[in-house]
Amino acid sequence: MELSNYDSFPQEIPLIIEDDIFLYPFMIAPLFLGETTNVKAVETAIDANKLVIVTVSKPSHEGKRDENSFYDVGVIGNIMRKVSLPDGKIKVLFQGLAKGKIEKFDPANPAFAYVDIIKTDAYEEQKVVSLIDVLREQIKKLSKINSKFPADLIKTIDENNDPVRIADLISSVLRVKKEEAYELFSQTNVEERLIKIIETVKKEIESFRIQNEITQKVNSKIEKTHKDYFLKEQIKAIQKELGTDNKKDQEIKIYTKKLKKLKPFMPKDGYKETKKQIEKLSRMHQDSPDASLLQTYIEQVLELPFGKYADAKISVANVEEQLNLDHYSLEKPKERIAEYFAVKELLELRGISDNKTKGTVLCFVGPPGVGKTSLANSISQALKRPLVRIALGGMEDVNELRGHRRTYVGAMPGRLVKGLVDAKSMNPVIVLDEIDKLGVSHRGDPSAVMLEILDPEQNNEFRDLYLNFSIDLSQVIFVATANDARRIPPALKDRMEFIEISSYTPNEKFHIAKDYLIPQELQRHGLKKSEVVLSDTIIETIISKYTREAGVRNLRRIFSKLFRKVAKKLLTHPENKKVSLLEIFTPREVNAIILKDYFRFLKKG
């Protein structure tokens, strides 16, 4: 049967819409039709001896017959046979004759469409012949890899020289989506169509090659009866091809092992939350943006030193010895600190829980440079506990202490949790420096968070927003420092015991300089005690004339400045064993009293 036996095109003919694949002019194929309009189109074609056009519905529009629910191209052909089936459907044998394009479609008459023949554009024969040779070569490669590829198709293609027929034959067996099949079917430029088919064939070859490699790798390691094992091995092989391998599984195992070790020491809600996040990470693809955030959270939690405490017992004798070693004078502060730890030692010796006293916070109040922070350092050394210093000066954001919620980009735990991680202990000495300088802003009031941290009734369940579970801060020894107690909120004041550290007298400064500052500065500047001889008069004069302050910071700076000049003189003039003060200080830095004394520099091998 040929087109010449029917009316000329364009013309209106019955329309059949299929849901599956595009048919081509050379095909004779059975169609199973149940939709009323399709059945009507078939009956009209048979009764009127008309041709029909078979087109394909668009994706997600199956079963519909709207103007935009099907493609505007299809194959024109005739109905060779019709058989009625018991379920009400019909089976027809359809023969394709030519490609057609639907020019008009009237929704009011959905069984018909106005159709014209699709004509192929003129082409350059030499170029098309070259493309066909390439296509034949690729098809042979595909047939070797794909066992389901029709063997007789290779012979048909080799014997045929019509580029349109060859393109139709190959397009009919390719595994492509509807949109891509439509592009191959409707293309009228022969060269572009052949190039597109070559690209599609190459993709199929690569796809089959990878599948075969994966299958071979898997089949060499498994038994045919173990279906679950087979699937797992396939996943592993695919991951290896992608370069991910099983690195993620190893990390999950390490996290689970660490969590199991920490379980006896972790709070129940902490263990439950961390376990849930590890399981969530194991199900997540490692390239997911949330995977790295989740991994950071798990690592932060597992770094917390749950169950790790400084083993050294509290000893008042050690505390007093360390305080006397590091500080001159300050008798009242030293005595109060010793009393504080005497109570703790007695409770510890008698096995009495100190829930009511362990939250007591000492706050050293005094002008700058009088030794507030160094007292806390001495307590840490005496107790043999790590020291964590948190500078509160100017802090305005509540989340600095409480941590940021994980929903925010760059969220991190608060400074208290970081301090525990850095100290590698759950009972360090934490110095809350400059507690009187906490700020208030639209981001909250940090002093309100301090109420929870310093309250013994609450700090055993301090909740960090980043961790999303409670941690115990009751074993931590908190020491605060302040310059002006009046600036501390009343509620926060109520949770602390203040120890006033007043300014030093000139006599105290003299002993501090002679016994502490000068030896320390000599060591820092690489000088020997025998190389610098300072008379008591000079020290007293520097204190009275050059450092009028409550503390001793400026006094330390004066000695530091002096010893820097000494070091330079020793290097530039090694022959000088005696240098006057005028050679060290500028005239503005000395007065008539200091000019009467000299510093002697004796260089010894």
Q: Is 316-500 a domain of CATH 3.40.50.300?
A: yes
Question: What mean pLDDT comes out for the span 171-181?
Answer: 83
36 versus 240: the higher-pLDDT residue is 36
Burial of 119 (0-12, 13-18, 19+ CB in 10 A): exposed
| DSSP class of 288 | S
HEC string of 292-340 equals: HHHHHHHHHHHHCCCCCCCCCCCCHHHHHHHHHHHCCCCHHHHHHHHHH
Q: Is 3-117 a domain of CATH 2.30.130.40?
A: yes
d(CA 445, CA 584) in angstroms, rounded, equals 51
Question: What mean pLDDT comes out for the span 224-241?
Answer: 68
Angle separating helix axes 163-171 and 125-145, nearest 10 degrees: 30
Residue 533 confidence (pLDDT)? 66
Residue 584 confidence (pLDDT)? 55
Residue 418 confidence (pLDDT)? 92
For 216-257, give the DSSP string.
Answer: HHHHTT--TT-HHHHHHHHHHHHHHHHT-TTHHHHHHHHHHH
Percentage of the chain beyond pLDDT 70 is 88
d(CA 203, CA 330) in angstroms, rounded, equals 84
SS3 425: coil
pLDDT in tens, 74-123: 999 888 888 888 888 889 999 888 889 988 888 888 888 999 988 888 88
Give the confidence band of 604 by pLDDT, cuts at 50, 70, 90: very low
pLDDT in tens, 465-513: 898 898 988 888 889 999 888 888 888 888 888 888 887 777 878 888 8
Q: Is 506-600 a domain of CATH 1.10.8.60?
A: yes
Residue 214, token pair as written in the block: 């994966």
Residue 420 confidence (pLDDT)? 92
Q: What one-letter code names the amino acid at 166?
A: I
Match domain 125-216 to its CATH number in 1.10.390.10, 3.40.1350.10, 1.20.58.1480, 3.30.70.360. 1.20.58.1480
Query: With contact defined as beta carbons under 8 Å apart, do 551 and 504 qualify?
Result: yes
Query: With contact defined as beta carbons under 8 Å apart, do 555 and 567 qualify?
Result: no
Give the confidence band of 578 by pLDDT, cuts at 50, 70, 90: very low
pLDDT in tens, 325-357: 888 878 888 888 888 888 888 887 877 765 544
Residues 6+ apart with CB under 8 A from 359: 454, 455, 456, 457, 459, 474, 495
Alpha carbon dihedral 100, 106, 109, 114, in 10-degree steps, equals: -30
Residue 286, token pair as written in the block: 């490692």
How many residues does the structure list for the chain?
A: 605
pLDDT in tens, 369-400: 888 888 888 888 888 889 999 988 888 888 88
Percentage of the chain beyond pLDDT 90 is 5
- The ranges assigned to domains in the chain are 3-117, 125-216, 247-303, 316-500, 506-600
pLDDT in tens, 582-602: 455 554 444 433 333 333 333
Residue 134, token pair as written in the block: 């390439």
Residue 176 confidence (pLDDT)? 82
Q: Which residue has the tokens 């202490």?
A: 401
